[in-house]
Structure 1
Amino acid sequence: MKPEITFQSLLQILIISTRLGLTSFGGPIAHLGYFHDEYVRRRKWIDEKTYADLVALCQFLPGPASSQVGIGIGVLRAGTLGGIISFIGFTLPSVLALIIFALVVQSFDVANAGWLQGLKIVAVAVVAHAIIGMAKNLTPDLQRKAIALIALTITLLWQSTFSQVGVILLAGLAGFILFKQQPGDDKQSFVFPISKRFGAICLTLFFAFLILLPIARDITQANWIAMFDSFYRSGSLVFGGGHVVLPLLEREFVPTGWVSEEAFLAGYGAAQAVPGPLFTFAAYLGAVINGWQGGLLASLAIFLPAFLLILGALPFWNQLRQNATIKGALMGVNAAVVGILISAFYFPIWTSSIMAPVDFAFAAILFSMLVYWKLPPWVIVLTGAIGGTFISYVL
């Protein structure tokens, strides 16, 4: 399908994506359902096969899958500019809501609130659920379990700005060696209106930022570069949905003192209550650190990897899915990400949340509500806040 780049088409994309950004509750899987209903079934902008291929590509890449699918649909409709407009419409409502919440919450003393301890325990349950699902899919054999274990050990014992990037690079090399005989995907090809040259530039920028930002951070000691690096790196390492970014962000900003544990969990609860991608939680953190300007900078930094990857991968997707070498390297990277997330789950989430037997018991209840009773995340958050308040008064 040839893109239609007109003012009318761009305005239409903005209106529809903004409406989705205001009404899409329920996380990335629900978002994909909303997109399918709007773009495939109702408006017929793309067909079922193209939509399925686009979803497969975005699940294959790190980053917020639903946001990347929205970008891809915008690209199909109106080129790269259409992708940018689609992204802004879907993301901006929750970004603004969380920046406003951050500015309001700093006016109150929430340090000793019982509901915050409850939200800490919610984080334990939600992230544990996400990691278990990822481990089942991404580390099914002994080789990948070993890669995850090594990544866990290194990132837990050596907590620096370089350890995560180094582990990812080594895991990619290990995956290339161990899994280079993986079969390709022989499904029918599909075409996006982006040149391979433009895609190569985007992929080059993705890796350049990932490698050079930690170096610039150490050399300059500038706060805004350090902040941009932390959000960019967190956005680059997330597979499996927005909840998985929580431990990465907490490790980056709570132990360093940029954001208090109480403020962090208050924002996490708010992020569960707004529509749109959970990655917009970064807007809240940025606003806590440096006002609304920090919120916008954080949003740009955490979504930039996803944007560069989807624009970079689209013109190469047909070749990537059939390239056994690339698939093998990514299998190693995916396994390492599981180890990195388990490491971050232990410290600081577990160590700052499970302080007594009652905390562990409450975490088990919340985990069961989420996993076995399959209640939506906002119910878990509300239960955690009420339960934390009750426990603080009783014990």
Structure 2
Amino acid sequence: MSEEDPLLKREAEEDAKIAPLGTRILDVIRLYWFLGLIAFGGPSAHVGILRDHLVLHHKYMEDEPFMELFALAGGLPGPTSTQLVIATAVTHAGPIGGMLAFVMWVLPAFIILTSAGIFLYSFISPSNPPIWLVGVPAAAISLIFKAFYAFCLKLDRLGVALAMFSCTIAVMINGDYRIAPTSSQEVYPALLFIGGLSTIIDFNRSSPIGTYWRPESVEDSGPSEADRILSKKIGIPIWGGVLAIIIWFSILAVSIILVHAFGMKNGYLHVFETTYRIGSIIFGGGIVVLPMLKNVVVPLGWMTDAQFFQGLGLTQSLPGPLFNFSAFVGATYKGLWGAVVAMLGLFGPGFILIFAMMPFWGRVRHVAWFKALLKGLNATAIGLIGSGCVFLYESAIIRASDAMVFIITGGCACYYNMQAPLVIILGSALGALFSPKALSVGQKPYGS
């Protein structure tokens, strides 16, 4: 008997525990096909829906890897809930499963938002919206505040401190005349680096401030049989992850060079470069991308403030990720192909990078310091969500009636668990009721 026989036997036993790829792909279709139709409420609600569906109800995966993937997605640029959908599917059916899950997740809202972006303003004047759209922005903002609150409840003492720090810095760089708002493109990744480094340092202290997982024995510090099987299901080698990172960076560099260095004026290329660049530097998911998108697409003349918030309200009322808003932006500016290009641009970086990280995660997920790193990234990203709340509120709440809608819809969402579509409908009804065309109450500019 050769010395390799036990290893070969173990490999064969592990392979026997993995179902055929075709069966696993069918599992993904069966479990994910309708999620894009029911996932209302934003990222925090999406995480709850996915956990209930995949972990608790169908026993598709264990809770621990699910939460690890949530933290990993929160530490990458891109839409957190979408990356979580992709990652959970990849753990079962590899890259094909992840791609199928992505399509099923985004397709329903993409179709609706693209249609709205193309046709809505052919009969609606953005400068004088109908009364049923007046209260939608305030209701949409209330849902973002709810998501921020839900994330904060999961933080430990150090996590709260990191979230406060990142939120304060983000507010400062966007609210100081001496600091260019575009500096957030460099500051946000730096904040995430500081957050991850802080938890790594704290993890190695004898009396840490935060709470961390630690192996109970030497055996616990190595990959288990379940870890090895998981890596095989993922089906992406380390070199594949490295290649994906190279592809992501190459697309970013080439698009920036073509638009800014060579001054290419193609409208679709400009849409792709803008959305892909934003998608590459956005940490914290869809809630953080909204103020950055607004600061870019409105000054460029792609849409007005009113169109932005009305489209945001429509996006909030639909299932799926907030990054679907890119379809509305692209369709409003450049029609159907503009929607496709904008969606590929904004989703592209996060899509590529979550695939790139999966083989690395599968091989180091049992390492305690890596778990600590994810905690720091997650806490810092939550703080960035808080800064998004501050600036979106400032932009959307113009009159006292807007604040009234925000208070009522936010209370219904947070304390009465009203679902997102109903919150948007309620905001629409209240905005119409308070408008000058109805009761005409609360029309004084807010804060004056």
TM-score range, shorter chain: 0.7 to 0.9
Deviation at 1:258?
1.2
Which deviates further from its counterpart, 378-387 or 54-63? 54-63
| 1-structure distance, mates of 2:414, 2:105 | 28
Q: Distance in 1 between matches of 2:337 and 2:377?
A: 37
Give the aligned partner of residue 445 of structure 2.
Answer: none
SS at match of 2:124: coil
Distance apart, 1:227 and its partner CA: 2.5
Query: Which residue identity is paired with 1:331?
Result: G
- 1:75 is aligned with what amino acid? V
Find the partner of 2:140 among 87, 107, 123. Answer: 123
Is the Cα contact below 8 Å between 1:254 and 1:261 reproduced in 2? yes
Structure 1 residues 323 and 249: alpha-carbon distance in aligned structure 2, compared to 1, 3 A threshold: farther
Q: Distance in 1 between matches of 2:40 and 2:173?
A: 36
Match of 2:90 among 63, 75, 86: 75
1:324 maps to which of 360, 364, 369: 369
TM-score, normalisation: structure 1: 0.81
Report which stretch shifted further, 351-360 or 173-182: 173-182
- Superposed, which structure 2 residues align to 1:6-155 within 5 Å? 6=22, 13-14=28-29, 17-28=32-43, 31=46, 46=60, 48-49=61-62, 52-62=64-74, 63-111=78-126, 112-113=128-129, 114-134=131-151, 140-142=159-161, 145-155=164-174
Change (3 A) 1:149 1:20: closer
Q: Where does structure 1 lack aligned partners over 5 or more consecutive residues?
A: none
Distance 1:141 1:39 in 2: 29
Aligned-partner Cα distance in 1 for 2:46–2:165: 34
Contact residue 272 and residue 378 of structure 1 kept, 8 A: yes
Structure-2 residue corresponding to 1:270: 314
Q: C-alpha offsets along residues 198-232 of structure 1, whole Å, 9 cap, x if unaligned? A: 11222344456567755654334444344224433
Q: Please tell me whether residue 199 in structure 1 is matched to residue 252 in structure 2.
A: no
Other-structure match for 1:381 = 424
1:84-133 Cα deviation digits (max 9, x unpaired): 12211222222112211222202112421233331121233223333344
Distance 1:329 1:73 in 2: 17
Asked if residue 358 in structure 1 is aligned to residue 370 in structure 2, the reply is no
State the secondary structure of the residue aligned to 1:180.
helix
CA separation of 1:301/1:107 partners in 2, compared to 1, >3 Å: closer, same or farther? same
Instruction: Quote the residue 1:250 is aligned against.
Output: 294
* 8 Å contact from structure 2 (residues 94, 236) kept in 1: yes
Native 8 Å contact 1:98 1:281 kept in 2? yes
> Which moved further from structure 2: 74-83 or 178-187?
178-187
Q: Deviations over 1:58-109 (max 9, x none)?
A: 3332343443343234434443123212211222222112211222202112
Q: Deviations over 1:37-78 (max 9, x none)?
A: 76667876x4x32x6414421333234344334323443444
**CA shift in 2, pair 1:259/1:77, >3 Å:** same
SS in 2 for 1:181: helix
Partner of 2:356: 312
- Which among 314, 326, 333 is matched to residue 282 of structure 1? 326
- The letter for the 1-side match of 2:345 is A
Distance in 2 between residues matched to 1:309 and 1:84, nearest whole Å: 13
Taking structure 2 as the reference length, what is the TM-score of the superposition? 0.72
CA deviations 1:351-382 (Å, max 9, x no partner) are: 43222333323322222222222211112211
Q: What's the CA shift string for 1:109-162, capped at 9, x where partnerless?
A: 24212333311212332233333444565674546533432232224444455x
Which has the larger displacement, 364-373 or 213-222?
A: 213-222
The 1-side partners of 2:284 and 2:196 are apart by 22
Pairing partner for 2:411 from 350, 353, 368? 368
C-alpha separation in 1, matches of 2:252 and 2:379: 17
Unaligned runs of at least 5 residues, structure 2? 1-16, 204-211, 441-448
What letter matches 2:146 in structure 1?
A: H
Q: CA 1:89 to 1:362, structure 2 compared with 1: closer, same or farther past 3 Å?
A: closer
Distance 1:366 1:212, change over 3 A: farther
TM-superposed deviation, 1:166: 1.0
Mapped partners of 2:324, 2:239: distance in 1? 30
Name the residue aligned to 2:200. Answer: 180
Quick one: which amino acid aligns to residue 237 of structure 2?
Answer: S
1:131–1:244 Cα contact (<8 Å) kept:
no
Letter in 2 for 1:180: I
Moved more, 293-302 or 116-125: 116-125
Shift in CA distance, 234/136, structure 1 to aligned 2, threshold 3 Å:
farther
Q: CA RMSD in A?
A: 3.6
